[in-house]
Structure 1
Amino acid sequence: MIRTPSLGAGVAVATALALALSPVPATAAADDGPEWGECPGGAERGVYCAALEVPLDHDDPDAGTIELTLSITGRGDAPRTLVVNPGGPGSRGIGTERQVWSSLPPEVADVYNVVSFDPRGVGASTPLVCGEPDTEPPRPALPYRPGSADEEAERLDAARQVAEACGAEGAELLPHLTTENAARDLELIRAELGQEQLDFLGYSYGTRLGTTYATLFPERTGRMVLDSVRDPSDSSWEVQFKQNDAFQHRAGQFFAWAAEHDDAYGLGSDAAAVEESWDATREELAQEPAGGRAGSAELDDMLASALYTDLSWPQLAGTVAAHRAGDSGRLLSAVDQLAEQGVPAALLAYTCTDDAWPTDWETWRAATAESAERAPHFAWLNTWYSAPCAFWEEPAGEPVDIGSVELPPMLLLHAADDPATPLAGAERMREVLTDSRLVVVDSGNHGQFLYERNGCVDDHGFRYLLTGELPESDTTCEGGEPPTA
């Protein structure tokens, strides 16, 4: 699937949150429970970490243990604890706790300490190791849409090598990197924190994690805020093709926005003209990469990354406009930053192991070609990110059937034009969670609560966290103003 950054990862979002951080220091919490101390690699003032041993295999507790690293911030003596997952799958959680707690109003921050954690296989927890490549991946990368059988074979070979490396070096941990196991880890975290129920805030993939936990432990499920909700019924294979259409729709909104600011960027006076300029630039980069390292694939990556939040649109449009005017410095800087991020091994592990993927490449090719007719900018990009799953050596698991038992009511928050988690998935989750409420925001930004500074959205979240009170019915919120050029 298209790389979904954890909700604290975007530069624009992180900057906005950093400016809003509360200066009130936290204290290390609780005389019992976790032994809080310094965080691996350091942390902001007022953030503490602890280690928690959990079974490698929850079905076989005698098979050994692995370690989770938890992080906490807050007043210290707050009566409740909010556990946060920023998405992914496979994204680090440490750091999210401070961003969330510092964005809460005082009346909510007084009630909650905020805990996050690096999930199994990730970061400061027992990590998945898939081997280090001998050299950096070549840049420019091959175009995502194969131009020849040789290009397709080269990308397939790279995908196969990633799968083989993970299977060889991560063999012990890999079978146990599933959402079900991560949800069972959550239950041990809840118990270690001394909470009778789990209060949880999950973004994107975190909504799958939270509802998996709730299905396994409904009686232990407390107040759950689910933001940017993933479809409970779709497999990862199905998700990626629905993402393609949603990303293409969102790209159309970006092209229309750039057209409204044609005086600033000169990319075209209507959406079709901007898209034509964009595709011409893409073709030129495929033929002659900027700086020898920024080709069409790198431009595709930039577009996909910018569609998570419209705060990125001025920078993206300005970068491409500058390149077209002869100055590629900003383009090369952006491409270098994206190259440093890579695709986390744990993201692939959860994606490929959670549920089944086709192993016949002809199935992938046919489905991608069909999707590319509707989503030409994203279909092949998305397929190549997930392609190692076609060669994954570890058999896929059987995901928990979310909602197969009666679940407590939850608060669902979702943007109408979210590209990474399309609205139809949130609506299906609402059907499964019959007593819950869905708040839809007139926006396309991925991640709303606390990140958009939308008073309507945040008020719903704050009221629910404080009182457990949901809106009387499903409702809507206005989105924020589009960014200025």
Structure 2
Amino acid sequence: MRRLVPVLLVAALLGGCSTPAAPTQAGRKLSAPSQEPSTASGVQIEPAVWKPCPDVYKGIFSSPPQNVKYDCTTVKVPQDWQNPEGSGTFDIALVRGRSTTQRDRVGSLFINPGGPGASGFEYAVYRSVYLPAEVVRRFDVIGFDPRGIGRSSPVQCFSAADLDANFGIDPDPQTDAAFGESVAVTRRLAQTCGDKYGDTLRYFSTEQTARDIDALRVAVGEKQLTYLGYSYGTLLGAVYAQLFPKNVRALVLDGAVDPTLSMQDSAEKQAAGFEHAFDNFTTWCKANTTSCPIGPDPRAVVMKAIADARTAPVQGKGRKATAGWVFTAVVSSLYSESSWRVLAQAMQDLRGGNPDKMFQLADSYAERDPEGKYSNMFDANAAVGCADSDNTPTVEQARALQPQWRSKYPLFGGALALNLICAQWPGKRDPYPAGAATGSAPIVVIGTLGDPATPYEQAPALAKMLGVGTLITWRGEGHTAYPKTGCVIEAVNRYLIDLRVPAANLTCDK
């Protein structure tokens, strides 16, 4: 299971807030982009040469978006920022969405959707339509696929068959034989990447990508960075702010990751977060019986479905609904309250022998298409996540944690104790820094009380660590908050456009 997952593409929802935003910093505009070569981390970066790419909407929208035009480019960056002259280069793909009604341009707004492994290129195309109109009119919306992802020198080492095995395997193996099977599957994944990439696997770390972002800032001609990062994208933004505090104009970090947590502590908090989200789903089922056909105790239904799938999985089209696939469907559905109804119906259909809806949920999470092909989401997710940590629990330590976490978090604990890919990862590690962004402009950090993937307590922790963080709390459900509720929208818009920092500890209601 991936460590962090990209925010779902959901339309904005309106809500209220308990405290109004207050101006605490004078607004200012960015100058027009520079067209002169400049440097990032001591490396000369050539200005981006944009070319029209009107067809990038395909696969995202059914028809071309109105009032937005798209341009694309690639920027070359060193493979290893610690040794820029002694390594090769990666090509980083960028897309720029610009409103045809743009006026009073502020600058470029860089977006990252998280993952690690999600395509920021595709996400920016989506967000160029579904960000607040006020923001789109004032900024070029710029997305990039980070190194190793999508269009940017992608890491590709997992076969579709191995990924099917990984997702389908028992998520919480309890017998020695089942655990041994999980170890074998994940060892094969790790060895495949090691055989192909060797010591260069460490090049895909978060710190290397954060340095790329500064090169991209230089390439598009911005003196300072304006950035919107979700989920894992908050970690990228936090690392950037520590490395380049003087280059920060405005950073919004939504669905915050606490960089001070170890991989083990982060996984345990995520287990607790998913248990909390499932409890909220249970409460919804009890209050919405007509929309929740599995009854008032969905936990019992889901746990029975996983148990039954261990011995008698329902046959689907071309594969069986094994315990791993059922578990993945449940995880997928908890990222947004709008998916609860789908989960309830999927579990009801599964009880009736039809796993189609369950597979739809699971495949959306796994980025598996109807032909059984995968994006490189999980290749990159493993490469980044494993490179980032040098304190991964061993296979033996994970096995010891498993029953402990299962007792505390019955549905998710046993599975999240087992990061068996990183435990067997062959590459060298490159941990990111975790400290204050001394000298940076104020940074906005957003946490959602019902967030399962990046539990809320990580948001105040990140704001405190940065030293310049201002916290926004949303009393909502699901993963991330902007732009889902009016209060958060207004506060973030004013910050991005006018640099008006929200009032301290702003709390927004549903």
Q: Secondary structure at the match of 1:66?
A: strand
Q: What 5-or-longer segments of structure 2 have no aligned partner?
A: 13-31, 36-46, 59-63, 369-373
What is the identity, as a one-letter code, of the residue corresponding to 2:499? Answer: G
Q: Which of residues 109, 113, 120 in structure 2 aligns to 1:82?
A: 109
Q: Report the CA distance between 1:87 and its aligned residue.
A: 0.5
State the shift of 1:192 in Å: 0.8
Q: How far off is 1:335 after superposition?
A: 4.5
Residue 464 of structure 1 corresponds to 495
CA distance change for structure 1 residues 395 and 339 in 2, over 3 Å: closer, same or farther?
closer
**Contact kept in structure 1, 2:395 and 2:423, CA below 8 Å:** yes
Whether the 8 Å contact between 1:108 and 1:462 is mirrored in structure 2 is: yes
Q: Deviations over 1:399-434 (max 9, x none)?
A: 212316343211111101211111111111121233
In 2, the alpha carbon distance for the partners of 1:131 and 1:324 equals 32
Q: Which runs of 4+ in 1 moved over 6 A?
A: none
Q: What is the CA–CA distance in structure 1 between the aligned matches of 2:165 and 2:446, rounded to whole Å?
A: 40
CA distance in 2, matches of 1:203, 1:445: 13
Q: What is the aligned counterpart of 1:181 among 187, 208, 218? A: 208
Question: In the alignment, which residue of structure 2 is the partner of 1:304?
Answer: 331
Corresponding residue to 2:400 among 358, 366, 374 = 366
> For the residues of structure 2 that align with 1:423 and 1:230, how far apart are their CA atoms?
9
Match of 1:151 in 2: 178
User: CA shift at 1:103, angstroms?
Assistant: 3.0
Deviates more, 1:393-402 or 1:250-259: 393-402
- Matched with 1:25 is none
Q: Aligned partners of 1:437, 1:135: CA distance in 2, in Å?
A: 43
Task: String of CA shifts for 1:302-340, please: whole Å, max 9, x gaps.
Answer: 111111101100111012123334544433444555565
Task: Quote the Cα distance in structure 1 between the aligned partners of 2:163 and 2:247.
Answer: 46
- Residue 287 of structure 2 aligns with which residue? 260
Structure 1 residues 192 and 287 mapped into 2: Cα distance closer, same or farther (>3 Å)?
Answer: same
| 8 A Cα contact 1:409 1:435, kept in partner | yes
The answer to whether residue 420 in structure 2 is matched with residue 387 in structure 1 is yes
Tell me, what secondary structure is at the counterpart of 2:476? Answer: coil
Unaligned runs of 5+ in 1: 18-28, 480-485
Which residue of structure 2 lines up, in the alignment, with residue 278 of structure 1? 302
Q: Residues 214 and 419 from structure 1, CA distance in 2 versus in 1: closer, same or farther, beyond 3 angstroms? A: same
| Offset, 1:72 | 0.5
- Of stretches 189-198 and 38-47 in structure 1, the one that deviates more from structure 2 is 38-47
Q: Does 1:60 align with 2:83?
A: yes
Q: Deviations over 1:457-480 (max 9, x none)?
A: 10011111111011222111112x
CA apart distance, 1:237: 2.9
Please tell me whether the aligned partners of residues 140 and 289 of structure 1 are also in contact (alpha carbons under 8 angstroms): no
Structure 1 counterpart SS, 2:252: strand
Structure 1 residue 72 corresponds to structure 2 residue 96: yes
Q: Who is 2:459 aligned against?
A: 426
Q: Distance in 1 between matches of 2:131 and 2:304?
A: 45
- Between the aligned partners of 2:226 and 2:128, the Cα distance in structure 1 is 14
Maintained 8 Å contact 1:359/1:391: no
Which position in structure 2 is the counterpart of 1:455?
Answer: 486
Q: Matched residue of 1:110: which SS?
A: helix
Query: Is contact 1:357-1:390 (8 Å) kept?
Result: no
State the shift of 1:201 in Å.
Answer: 0.4
2:301 is equivalent to residue 287 of structure 1: no
Q: Are 1:244 and 2:271 counterparts?
A: yes
Tell me: CA distance 1:380–1:472, structure 2 relative to 1, closer, same or farther (3 Å).
same
Q: State the structure with bigger RCO (CA 8 A, min sep 6), 1 or 2.
A: 2
How far, CA to CA, are the matches of 2:395 and 2:356 in structure 1?
Answer: 38
Instruction: Measure, in 1, the Cα distance between the counterparts of 2:332 and 2:57.
Output: 27
SS state of the match for residue 262, structure 1? coil
What is the CA–CA distance in structure 1 between the aligned matches of 2:347 and 2:433, rounded to whole Å?
44
Is the CA contact 2:329–2:359 (under 8 Å) kept in the aligned structure 1?
A: no
- Alignment equivalent of 1:444, drawn from 455, 466, 477: 477
Could you list the per-position Cα deviations for residues 1-60 of structure 1 after superposition, in whole angstroms to 9, with x for gaps in the alignment? 5454422xx4xx35x47xxxxxxxxxxx97943111255984455222101000111111
Q: 1:407 aligns with which of 440, 446, 454?
A: 440
Name 1:483's counterpart in structure 2.
none
Which among 126, 137, 141 is matched to residue 114 of structure 1?
A: 141
> Residues of 1 paired with 2:55 and 2:473: CA distance?
38
Query: More displaced, 340-349 or 122-131?
Result: 340-349
In 2, Cα distance between equivalents of 1:345 and 1:201: 24
CA RMSD of aligned residues (A): 2.5
Please state whether the residue corresponding to 1:223 is helix, strand or coil: strand
Q: Secondary structure of the residue that 1:95 maps to in structure 2?
A: helix
Q: Among 40, 44, 48, which residue is 1:34 paired with? A: 48
Q: TM-score, normalization: structure 2?
A: 0.83
TM-superposition CA deviations, 1:425-445 (whole Å, max 9, x none): 111112123343211111121
Paired amino acid for 1:6 = P
Contact in 2 for aligned 1:2/1:240 (Cα 8 Å):
no
Other structure's SS at 1:356 match: coil
Counterpart contact for 1:2–1:381, Cα < 8 Å: no
Separation in 2, partners of 1:407, 1:419: 29
- Quickly say closer, same or farther: Cα 1:369–1:50, change in 2 above 3 A: same
Shift of 1:94: 0.8
Whether the aligned pair in 1 keeps the contact of 2:77 and 2:90 (CA below 8 Å) is: yes
